[in-house]
Structure 1
């Protein structure tokens, strides 16, 4: 049996194992880059369209209760007041000490220029490319890679690569490091047993496979196993529970933090699970918990003086509808929320120009109206962290962008 399917084939033949790469990527890549200076930047892509109106709730807006009810989607009143107008989703409660220290903040009603079609693929593509639309004709490298091209002496150090994927946001001519844990395995019981047989004489690889099963469960996309084999289902569940306390996001964030504590200065990775068309009150807290875990793990790993030079920013391709749909969820929208953390942040506030939620103020009478290009917020962060000139940001990094006024997001 091992002559037919060896370990290399096990990882490489995703079709044979039934891995669903389109719906939930097999690899969740982490990209890193080294630049001069001490400032660090971590960009987290929240794939699926995060509902910013549920994460940071504008309960002080008179129209909010009519759209969402007093408690939004959680069905209770446990949201945490931030400033007398906005309240934080209870799933982010563990981040409140950062808010109190001015190391957590948000920017509301932000969006890329992408409008109306509301496709995850197009929205994520434009977010990572940093473009206003797909017809601009600019080379399709990622905006973070273009940042590296304009920072003197930036380079890649030791490469970390497991798997073959790469985040588009850091793709381009400037070399970067890559590292990817295996994730989201969708296996039949027979495939799991076959893998165990192949790996039984290799404890290290067997441990890695067990970890992969745990990661698949921990990111919200459970390992798919045929229910006809209850014994095998129990085996898989037992294996995943062994790693239940360590999520994929914590593993990625810890790895990134260790590199940032050394030579790397820029890191980027993604967190999936934000597409909440139904039962949002069940789905969103899980995703928010994983975001919270990632931020706190980064803080605990980089530590002290390095954390004070670090800015973490989490962005999503678009927001969601202002109204709750009939399935207890929200559909693809427009205006969204940017999450920021770090010792370098001038936090403890919700930045941005709030447009209001009365029907006439909504975009297309259905979505939160964007009042600021999310690229402008990112641009001012880059200006403060790496000294990039305004002209470079508006032409080379984010072509066609008007940065507008400086929101002074950093200390």
Structure 2
């Protein structure tokens, strides 16, 4: 317990030491990347955690189910975009329709982690990122499934090279080494100060390593700040090009929100690394908890997600053909709307897949129906698949990991089932 308290203190203290200036933005979050081109080949994997429980029934709408609109008479606004004759896509993801038509976008419906009944964001996210089922709530479970995957690859030198924001990703906690970077870090330490810290922490390897890492990151501040500046300048230029028309005319396009711009920033930052030796990136987008006024809440979040994916595709260039993006959330939301034009915490939900490496143009999963007897607890979409199995089959297709490794080490206790043929 003493060691754990020291580690918690160290994590928080180091974050404060290197200057977490983004803490005022609650939706900003960590971006983590892992290197390993020699071992993992050319395939890239991007995992996006959608924090807050995205309403999959609103994002990928089962309009072919006769009960759908009767459950949500006041919730749905603009009509969805046709996907396959049964499902439609939320109009705020309309910019992704060219990807759907090109076979670079897919969805999984009626999927969930093993988490049931309590519907807590904290527990749900922990279980999603640990990938171990309900036993994640036991104190001895500390690592995340993506970190465990990195540990199973022989000869892989993994490095969480950059962290943008204030929140850590349990998805990548574990024995595989990680590093973090926070934008606008301000750590001015003289050579004398560094020597003093080295002496103070010389007999404490845990604190010594963290202090040295913080100072090393500070020394690279100028290089990283320049990259960040270039990303922001590029985004500003694109906004100017897109928003301006002929002199004297007004643009009827909606103004880009700060959330959209920041999501593009994260995507551009990650894409720059993925074009190099980095092979795996993970970050999260918050803002999906839509208890009231769901149309406004989810609309803004979907636009940010859309911009994130489009920016990845643009900046990755030819690398996009070897890229798979998985966007997943902790649980779904209720089938019926509530009295506040929103939805409450549910169970079954949807996940998004994108990238040139996937076999898109399809909504995967077995649809359970919306009849009250078919709902989970007579209120939620019934899960028909385990969200972990889709991630496992993705990693098997990308990196050739043995099924036994995925079912026993990466996702302990998982039964992957038949190959769904997610990748090209």
TM-score, normalised by the number of residues in structure 2: 0.75
* SS of match in other structure, 1:179: coil
Give 1:262's match in structure 2, choosing from 264, 273, 276.
276
By how many angstroms is 1:87 displaced?
Answer: 0.2
Q: Which runs of 5+ in 2 are unaligned?
A: 1-12, 186-223, 236-254
Q: Can you list the C-alpha shifts for 1:188-221, whole angstroms capped at 9, x where unaligned? A: xxxxxxxxxxxxxxxx99xx99x99xx9xxxxxx
Give 2:407's match in structure 1, choosing from 380, 394, 403.
394
Q: Does 1:120 align with 2:121?
A: yes
**Cα separation, 1, equivalents of 2:22 and 2:320:** 41
Q: Does 1:175 align with 2:188?
A: no
TM-score, normalised by the number of residues in structure 1: 0.77
**Cα separation, 1, equivalents of 2:297 and 2:49:** 17
Q: Does 1:73 align with 2:64?
A: no
By how many angstroms is 1:251 displaced?
Answer: 0.6
By how many angstroms is 1:175 displaced?
Answer: 1.5
**Cα separation, 1, equivalents of 2:325 and 2:164:** 24
Q: In the alignment, what sits opposite 2:91?
A: 90
Give 2:154's match in structure 1, choosing from 152, 155, 180.
152
Q: In the alignment, what sits opposite 1:237?
A: none
Decide whether the 8 Å contact of 2:33 with 2:161 is kept in 1.
Answer: no
Q: Does 1:299 align with 2:313?
A: yes
* SS of match in other structure, 1:296: helix
**Cα separation, 1, equivalents of 2:180 and 2:417:** 34
Q: In the alignment, what sits opposite 1:290?
A: 304
Q: Kindly report which structure 2 residues correspond to 1:315-334, keeping only aligned pairs within 5 A, or say none.
A: 315-334=328-347
**Cα separation, 2, equivalents of 1:163 and 1:101:** 33
* SS of match in other structure, 1:353: coil
Q: Can you list the C-alpha shifts for 1:25-49, whole angstroms capped at 9, x where unaligned? A: 6x51100001221000000000000
Q: Can you list the C-alpha shifts for 1:338-383, whole angstroms capped at 9, x where unaligned? A: 1000000100000001000111100000000000000011111011
Bigger fraction of residues in helix? 2
Give 1:313's match in structure 2, choosing from 326, 346, 358.
326
* SS of match in other structure, 1:125: helix
* SS of match in other structure, 2:133: coil
By how many angstroms is 1:245 displaced?
Answer: 9.1
By how many angstroms is 1:158 displaced?
Answer: 8.5
Q: Does 1:111 align with 2:125?
A: no
* SS of match in other structure, 1:85: coil
Q: Can you list the C-alpha shifts for 1:361-410, whole angstroms capped at 9, x where unaligned? A: 00000000000000011111011011111111111000111111111111
When residues 309 and 364 of structure 1 are mapped into structure 2, their CA distance, relative to the original with a 3 A threshold, is: same
**Cα separation, 1, equivalents of 2:181 and 2:267:** 12
RMSD: 3.2
Decide whether the 8 Å contact of 1:50 with 1:274 is kept in 2.
Answer: yes
Q: Does 1:276 align with 2:290?
A: yes
Decide whether the 8 Å contact of 1:321 with 1:333 is kept in 2.
Answer: yes
Q: In the alignment, what sits opposite 1:99?
A: 100
By how many angstroms is 1:154 displaced?
Answer: 1.8
**Cα separation, 1, equivalents of 2:412 and 2:23:** 37
**Cα separation, 2, equivalents of 1:329 and 1:163:** 29
Q: In the alignment, what sits opposite 1:375?
A: 388
By how many angstroms is 1:177 displaced?
Answer: 4.4
Decide whether the 8 Å contact of 1:58 with 1:87 is kept in 2.
Answer: yes
Moved more, 57-66 or 320-329: 57-66
Decide whether the 8 Å contact of 1:379 with 1:393 is kept in 2.
Answer: yes
Q: Which runs of 5+ in 1 are unaligned?
A: 1-8, 184-203, 216-240
Q: Does 1:339 align with 2:352?
A: yes
Q: Kindly report which structure 2 residues correspond to 1:237-248, keeping only aligned pairs within 5 A, or say none.
A: 244=258, 247-248=261-262
**Cα separation, 2, equivalents of 1:181 and 1:399:** 36
Q: In the alignment, what sits opposite 1:353?
A: 366
Q: In the alignment, what sits opposite 1:405?
A: 418
* SS of match in other structure, 1:265: strand
Q: Kindly report which structure 2 residues correspond to 1:143-222, keeping only aligned pairs within 5 A, or say none.
A: 143-156=145-158, 159-161=161-163, 165-181=167-183
By how many angstroms is 1:109 displaced?
Answer: 0.3
By how many angstroms is 1:13 displaced?
Answer: 9.2
**Cα separation, 1, equivalents of 2:339 and 2:279:** 45
**Cα separation, 2, equivalents of 1:242 and 1:353:** 36
